[in-house]
Copies of this chain bind each other. A is one copy, B any other.
Amino acid sequence: MSIISDSAPLSDLSVVKSVSLTSALEKELERLILTGELEPGVRINEIHLSNRFGTSRGPIREATRSLEAKGLVEVVRNRGVFVRRLSVEDAVEIYDVRAALFGQAGRLLAERMTDGLLAELTRMVDEMDAVAERGSFDDYYPLNLGFHNLIVGSCGNRTLQAEYHRFVNKLHLFRARALVQGGGLAVSNREHRAMLEALASGDGDRAQMTHWRHVALAKRRLIAAVDGPARHD
């Protein structure tokens, strides 16, 4: 079976002339990987892809080399490129990096906080509390994501923001991916409130600590979920 069906709906790569074919392909491949349409571990066949997108192999190879540098795929000489597969250890390592970056974002944000932003963040936490009470995880998840993105996106450091998102994205390659979102909703939101207070106080040290701890605790919940109830090796 081909890894990518040749009849699949071709998302509009034909419109492209202002931007290079390579970067359009890269975006599309990244999308396929992050949404799970290309599952971790599978090989990416250059010929199939070039047929599917109607291009030659050159731009596809360039796109995959870029994705390799971003850590989304792995290139093995004479064998091909494979969607990267993250081990539990990899995921845990990423959590540490993410905690460090998120903590720094919290610090920076605390030092440039505005009333409007604080109100918006508070509103989001309130809404998450309401949703958490109903136990609706599917509703909670996007709110939670938006909350974190708003913090990192408002910290004023574009480099930090880009890096943070890169690592969050990488967690999609973790096969037991459902676990990264597991853990108590109410507990997590209580941590959010601690973060809010620190941000409101304008205390950089405190904000960094609460933000760091939030991710560190999420890491703990992940570890507990992994080697606790069921075997996921």
Residues in A lying within 8 Å of B, measured CB to CB: 18-20, 22, 58, 61-63, 65-70, 75, 77, 90, 93-94, 96-97, 99-101, 103-104, 108, 157-160, 163, 205, 208-209, 212
Instruction: Say how far A229's CB is from chain B's closest CB, in angstroms.
Output: 26
| Residues on B with beta carbons closer than 8 Å to the beta carbon of A208 | 212
Known contacts A100-B100, A101-B100; A93 and B62 CB within 8 A of each other: no
Nearest 4 A-B pairs (CB), nearest first? A69-B69, A100-B104, A93-B159, A100-B100
- The secondary-structure label for the interface of chain A is helix
Give the residue name and chain of the B residue nearest to A103 (CB). Answer: B100
Q: Across the interface, do B163 and A97 meet the contact criterion of CB distance under 8 Å?
A: yes
CA distance A219 to B94 in the complex (A): 25
Most chain B CB neighbours (cut-off 10 Å) among A22, A90, A99, A159: A159
What residues on B are CB-neighbors of A70 within 8 Å? Answer: 69
Do residues B108 and A77 form an inter-chain contact, with CB atoms below 8 A? Answer: no
A157 contacts B96, C-beta separation under 8 Å: yes
Task: Return chain B residues, CB-CB under 8 Å to A62.
Answer: 61-62, 65
Contacts of A18 in B (CB 8 A): 77
The closest CB in chain B to the CB of A163 belongs to: B97
Q: How far is the CB of A149 from chain B (nearest CB, A)?
A: 17
Given A65-B65, A100-B103, A93 contacting B160 (CB threshold 8 A):
yes
Is B157 a contact of A93 with CB atoms below 8 Å? yes
Which residue of chain B has the shortest Cβ distance to A208 in the bound complex?
B212
Q: How far is the CA of A62 from the CA of B158 in the complex (A)?
A: 26
| Partner pick for A58 among B58, B68, B103, B159, CB 8 A cutoff | B58
